[in-house]
Amino acid sequence: MDILTGFTSTLGSLAGGFGTALQPFNVLLLTIGCFLGLVIGVLPGLGGTSGVAILLPITVFIANTGPGGATSAVIFLAGIYWGALFGGVITSILFNIPGEPWSVVLLFDGFPLAKKLGKPALALTSSFFASFIGAFIATVLFTFFARALADVALAFGPAELFAVFIMSFATLIGLGSESPAKSVMMIGFGLLLAAVGFDTITGAPRLTFDRIEILSGIGFVPVTIGLFGMGEILASAEEQGIGFVERLSAKVGLKDIVETLGELRKRIWTVVITAVIGFWFGVLPGHGATAGSFLGYGLARQYSKNKANFGKGEITGIMAPQAAADASAVGSLVPMVALGVPGSPTSAVIMAGLFIWGLQPGPLLFIDHPDFVWGLTASIYLGHLITFTMCLLAVPLLAKIMHIPYAIITPFIVIISIIGSYSLNNSMFDVFITITFGFVGYWLRKMKYPLAPLVVAIVLGDSTERELRKALIASGGSPLIFVASPLAATLMILAIILLLLPVVRNVRERRARPATADHAA
């Protein structure tokens, strides 16, 4: 009876939230926010975080003079966040350049499907549909369980987070058809690159060889842009020849949407499960969203029937991480609203906005400002619907980008890659890193080394080390902390099982081979 009362009460509050969010002024702000977010997401070097930060001053004006006050302001900022999430996908799929950390994983299959298999429209619509469904599931979870989940998330300490990061690495070992040893080598290389610069715990410089530029470390954005964006340009120059012009179908109609829906129907459970996983990882404060998208990809691959197609344009490889990433973004608002702890860099900026508008994020927000909380919740549903519609309408235009002549698109990708890596820290050193890793990426491709484990390790390496050392500091150096709580022990056992799976599979295959050969003989 209590559950039913709680359910109907939440539905009533949500209806009130829709009443607020659907006011013409708020719908207008949400639409403008979503559009600006899309533009910001597509532009290299600008992501959701910088977009929200750039437009934060405008929200002070909206909060003070607009008819909706702080609710209108947060609806506008949230719109930018959702728009940027969708916009980052476009650059990943069409240019092989990641927008945000969690859209890095889309490079593995999004670009190959768009370019190598010649289906940019399918790649884009698959990702937009997965985003929308992932966000919808996450918003439903946000609506009904935000406060309860925020409390559970607090049980995740450094030991549990360390186990989660290990799980993310484990799912990617043996990616594609390459040997697990090559994946392990790439993970080691990524971890090593992530370790370059100041040690976050002791402040000691590591692997800097007395070079000042390297003290702040090697960022994953310049490396990823180099490995994928530049590396692909060099590889295609050799494989397809300089001056190669794409001959792709840019006609996008109802047929493409029907095809995407058909593909989605086949993978609906994968999308739903990865969305729930992504949402949960988003709820975890810190780097949850990135780990969620990588884990979503890794798990989808582990349990896919088309395992060999991953990395070559497999639709599950687009839908699963995209659903997880968007769900993570929604999840990252849970600790912000319910606890006053930001779940992601973007939600940290939105939280700064809450303080500026005179609100105190945390449990009391639900009691003191229910209009604000439920207005924001309703705007998450509406914001995703608006962005999804905008993106779907823009797909024919976006797909035509693939038809731009080689002599224009190739230097243009180089230029936006330079902007993307430079604008991160206003540093030419980052541009040199991008160029260098362009060559490294080309060489690794030629030598058939998987790039995904390298990227996962460089993105998550820093956080993995930090959680490992924080856990050991908390335990006074005792490694038993990793199995001390039932949650940590379960996660660690799962991580070890996932790590050992490729080895066991490899041994089984080797044993099966002579037996099959004997049988054949």
DSSP 229: I
* 496 touching another protein, by CB under 8 A: no
Distance, CA of 347 to CA of 52 (rounded, Å): 9
Dihedral sign for Cα 285, 289, 290, 291, please: positive
Could you tell me the smallest distance in angstroms from the CB atom of residue 235 to another protein?
7
* 406 touching another protein, by CB under 8 A: yes
* 410 touching another protein, by CB under 8 A: yes
Could you tell me the smallest distance in angstroms from the CB atom of residue 469 to another protein?
5
| Six token digits for residue 227 | 């490995």
Find the binder of another protein among 19, 243, 358, 370 (CB under 8 A).
243
- Residues counted in the chain: 521
Could you tell me the smallest distance in angstroms from the CB atom of residue 419 to another protein?
7
Find the binder of another protein among 52, 130, 175, 182 (CB under 8 A).
182
What's the chain's Rg over C-alpha atoms?
23
Q: Which is nearer to another protein, 167 or 376 (CB)?
A: 167
| Six token digits for residue 17 | 């939230």
Q: Which is nearer to another protein, 230 or 327 (CB)?
A: 230
Q: DSSP characters for 341-359?
A: --SSHHHHHHHHHHHHTT-
User: Of 379, 338, 381, 385, nearest to 71 (Cα)?
Assistant: 379
CB under 8 A: which stretch of 23-31, 180-188, 249-257, 490-498 binds another protein?
180-188
* 241 touching another protein, by CB under 8 A: yes
How many helices (DSSP H) and strands (DSSP E) are in the chain?
22, 2
Q: Which is nearer to another protein, 48 or 68 (CB)?
A: 48
Could you tell me the smallest distance in angstroms from the CB atom of residue 462 to another protein?
10
Query: Which single residue is written with the structure tokens 């909380």?
Result: 373
Q: Which is nearer to another protein, 290 or 421 (CB)?
A: 421
CB under 8 A: which stretch of 6-14, 106-114, 145-153, 420-428 binds another protein?
420-428
* 500 touching another protein, by CB under 8 A: no
Q: Which helix (H) or strand (E) holds 450?
A: none
Q: How many residues bind another protein (CB under 8 A)?
A: 68
| Six token digits for residue 199 | 């040690």
Q: Which is nearer to another protein, 117 or 192 (CB)?
A: 192
Contact mark string toward another protein, 17..56, x via CB under 8 A: -----------------------x--x-xx-------x--
Contact mark string toward another protein, 361..400, x via CB under 8 A: ----------------------------------------
CB under 8 A: which stretch of 320-328, 374-382, 461-469, 490-498 binds another protein?
461-469
Please, which of residues 463-492 interact with another protein by CB under 8 A?
465, 468-477
* 187 touching another protein, by CB under 8 A: yes
* 181 touching another protein, by CB under 8 A: yes
Could you tell me the smallest distance in angstroms from the CB atom of residue 62 to another protein?
19
Find the binder of another protein among 117, 235, 248, 272 (CB under 8 A).
235
Q: DSSP characters for 120-149?
A: HHHHHHHHHHHHHHHHHHHHHHHHHHHHHH
Helix (H, G, I), strand (E, B) or coil at 520: helix
Q: DSSP characters for 77-120?
A: HHHHHHHHHHHHHHHHHHHS--SSGGGGGGGTTHHIIIIISS-H
Distance, CA of 268 to CA of 134 (rounded, Å): 10
Could you tell me the smallest distance in angstroms from the CB atom of residue 44 to another protein?
10
Task: Identify whether the C-beta of residue 457 lies closer than 8 Å to the C-beta of residue 189.
Answer: yes
Q: Which is nearer to another protein, 132 or 449 (CB)?
A: 449
Could you tell me the smallest distance in angstroms from the CB atom of residue 169 to another protein?
11
Distance, CA of 502 to CA of 317 (rounded, Å): 19
Query: Which single residue is written with the structure tokens 């040893």?
Result: 181
Q: Which is nearer to another protein, 85 or 337 (CB)?
A: 85
Q: Which is nearer to another protein, 40 or 349 (CB)?
A: 40
Distance, CA of 344 to CA of 181 (rounded, Å): 33
Find the binder of another protein among 22, 117, 192, 496 (CB under 8 A).
192
Task: Identify whether the C-beta of residue 94 lies closer than 8 Å to the C-beta of residue 120.
Answer: yes
Distance, CA of 156 to CA of 163 (rounded, Å): 10
DSSP 415: H
Find the binder of another protein among 14, 22, 56, 195 (CB under 8 A).
195
Helix (H, G, I), strand (E, B) or coil at 207: coil
Could you tell me the smallest distance in angstroms from the CB atom of residue 190 to another protein?
8
Residue 335 makes CB contacts below 8 A (sequence gap 6+) with 150, 153, 283, 284, 285, 341, 342, 343, 347
Distance, CA of 309 to CA of 196 (rounded, Å): 34
* 83 touching another protein, by CB under 8 A: no
- Residue ranges that bind another protein, judged by CB under 8 A: 40, 43, 45-46, 54, 179, 181-182, 184-185, 187-189, 191-192, 195-196, 199, 201-202, 204, 206-207, 209, 230, 233-235, 237-238, 241-243, 405-408, 410-412, 414-415, 418-419, 422-423, 426, 428, 431-432, 435, 438-439, 442, 446-447, 461, 465, 468-477
